[in-house]
């Protein structure tokens, strides 16, 4: 039968129009920009963690620069990068399923295969960096794939249900006092000069985080909520319509700003009245999500009002190679902070770590721009697609593309 023939022999890349990436001029630039911003947030926060990872190390009072940077990182970037990436992954998952639906009778099957290879990449990345989030995005993608034929109204409904439900579920999960069997490796493995010990630390720490209850459960509730929001934004063509209609963007900005002000006031008021609302309904995550939306929508607003300046163009290049840049950030961190590398863990100032993170990101800007002038996808993105379709796909850039300089 025709369907059996399709899956018995893997088609060539030329016969798979869904594989062809968009011409840069046809991409949704604002989405690429947000991906780049999220990656900047991730590298800043992750490298900041290595300043005091698994130890009680406070920034000295005399180190004014480090103390100021820590405040900025906490307010602007902590919990903003991975939640924004979750939203954008939901957006991308929905776009991928919709794209495949036009040319494949079973888009879910290929999507699951894509998630399988992302999980393999996540396992390898876990050895390099204990805090890998790719495996979390795999779980989110599998759940969202069950709604591959859902309407935008369904995704919006699911997002609202999750947004209202998880503040109630989080206190319940914390009250269960469930102890999951998990390995908690010694930090001496990470500071070892043996690369096997360093990789073992990452894998065992990743397993420890994976089995941590309720913390891991809480993270995934928030991720799934962001994923449903992202899928809704894709279904409603939110980003594509922003140039013509910025009202929704402005509304998102001002509503999130109001939430950022109102939620702490409500919290402090309930504490003053001794209502102990947090014991039953922990809405603190709403505050973090509101901050994420506030900064992201504000950035989008500035982006739409400004010309293609170097900052936004740089974010777009990095965002087009999200997987490659995320993995390389983690690899550089291992080479800097582990015993197998330079062994800088707990030996540098907070400002040094932040400066290093910025330096890594700047290098990624120039590398991404150079690489994408010659190739369709980033190296890891290309490998991921090739593994998914079982054939080495050409990564040479078409001469017809007018690459943005």
Does residue 21 register a pLDDT over 60? Answer: no
What is the spatial distance between Cα 336 and Cα 54, in angstroms, rounded to a whole number?
A: 17
Q: Are the C-beta atoms of 30 and 296 separated by less than 8 Å?
A: no
CA-CA-CA-CA dihedral for 123, 124, 128, 129, to nearest 10: -30
Does residue 14 register a pLDDT over 50? Answer: no
Mean pLDDT of 115-137: 92
State the pLDDT confidence band at 214, using cuts at 50, 70 and 90. low
| Residues 6 or more apart in contact with residue 138 via CB below 8 angstroms | 115, 118, 119, 122
**Residue 394: predicted pLDDT:** 87
Burial class (CB in 10 A: 0-12, 13-18, 19+), 25: exposed
**Residue 335: predicted pLDDT:** 95
Percent of the chain clearing pLDDT 70 (strictly above): 87
Does residue 11 register a pLDDT over 70? Answer: no
Which of 305, 367, 308, 400 is CA-nearest to residue 21? 400
Helix (H, G, I), strand (E, B) or coil at 375: strand
Angle at 240 (CA atoms; ends 373, 166), nearest 5 degrees: 105
Q: Map out the domains of the chain as residue ranges.
A: 40-73+318-332+351-405
CA distances from 348 to 26, 68, 332 (A): 44, 16, 16
Q: Are the C-beta atoms of 44 and 128 separated by less than 8 Å?
A: no
**Residue 383: predicted pLDDT:** 95
What is the spatial distance between Cα 312 and Cα 39, in angstroms, rounded to a whole number?
A: 13
Mean pLDDT for the chain overall: 85
Least confident residue range of 50-54, 337-341, 395-399: 395-399
What is the maximum alpha-carbon separation in the chain? 75
| Residues 6 or more apart in contact with residue 405 via CB below 8 angstroms | none
Residues 30-44 have pLDDT tens digits of 999 999 999 999 999
Backbone angles phi, psi at 179, to 5 degrees: -105, 115
Least confident residue range of 75-79, 118-122, 207-211: 207-211
Mean pLDDT of 320-338: 96
State the pLDDT confidence band at 104, using cuts at 50, 70 and 90. low
Selected residue with higher pLDDT from 322 and 390: 322
Residues 361-388 have pLDDT tens digits of 999 999 999 999 999 999 999 999 999 8
Mean pLDDT of 265-285: 81
What is the spatial distance between Cα 363 and Cα 316, in angstroms, rounded to a whole number?
A: 14
367-394 burial code (b ≥16 CB/10 A, e <16): bbbebbeebbbbebbbbbbbbbbeeebe
What is the spatial distance between Cα 14 and Cα 354, in angstroms, rounded to a whole number?
A: 44
Would you give the distance in Å from CA 194 to the centre of its chain? 30
């Amino acid at each position: 039968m025709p369907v059996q023939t399709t899956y018995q022999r893997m088609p060539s890349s030329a016969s798979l129009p869904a594989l062809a990436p968009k011409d840069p001029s046809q991409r949704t630039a604002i989405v690429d920009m947000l991906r780049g911003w999220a990656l900047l947030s991730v590298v800043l926060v992750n490298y900041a963690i290595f300043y005091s990872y698994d130890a009680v190390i406070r920034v000295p009072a005399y180190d004014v620069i480090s103390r100021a940077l820590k405040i900025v990182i906490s307010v602007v970037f902590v919990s903003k990068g991975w939640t924004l990436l979750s939203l954008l992954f939901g957006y991308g998952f929905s776009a991928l399923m919709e794209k495949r639906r036009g040319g494949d009778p079973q888009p879910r099957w290929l999507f699951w295969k894509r998630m399988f290879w992302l999980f393999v990449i996540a396992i390898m990345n876990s050895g390099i960096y204990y805090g890998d989030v790719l495996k979390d995005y795999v779980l989110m993608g599998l759940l969202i794939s069950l709604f591959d034929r859902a309407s935008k109204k369904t995704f919006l409904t699911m997002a609202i249900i999750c947004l209202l439900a998880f503040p109630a579920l989080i206190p319940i999960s914390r009250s269960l006092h469930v102890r999951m069997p998990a390995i908690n490796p010694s930090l001496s493995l990470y500071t070892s000069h043996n690369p096997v010990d360093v990789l073992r630390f990452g894998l065992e720490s990743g397993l420890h985080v994976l089995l941590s209850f309720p913390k891991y459960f809480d993270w995934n509730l928030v991720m799934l909520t962001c994923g449903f929001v992202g899928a809704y934004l894709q279904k409603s063509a939110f980003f594509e319509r922003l140039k013509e209609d910025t009202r929704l963007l402005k509304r998102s900005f001002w509503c999130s700003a109001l939430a950022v002000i109102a939620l702490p006031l409500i919290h402090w008021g309930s504490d003053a009245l001794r209502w102990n609302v947090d014991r039953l309904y922990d809405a603190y995550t709403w505050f973090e999500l509101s901050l994420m939306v506030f900064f992201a929508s504000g950035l989008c607003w500035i982006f739409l009002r400004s010309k293609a300046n170097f900052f936004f163009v740089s974010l777009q290049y990095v965002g087009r190679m999200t997987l490659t840049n995320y993995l390389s950030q983690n690899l550089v961190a291992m080479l800097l902070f582990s015993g197998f590398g330079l062994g800088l863990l707990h030996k540098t100032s907070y400002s040094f770590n932040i400066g290093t993170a910025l330096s890594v990101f700047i290098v990624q800007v120039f590398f991404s721009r150079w690489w994408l002038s010659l190739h369709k996808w980033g190296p890891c993105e290309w490998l991921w697609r090739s593994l998914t379709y079982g054939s080495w796909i050409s990564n040479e850039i078409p001469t017809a593309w007018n690459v943005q300089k």
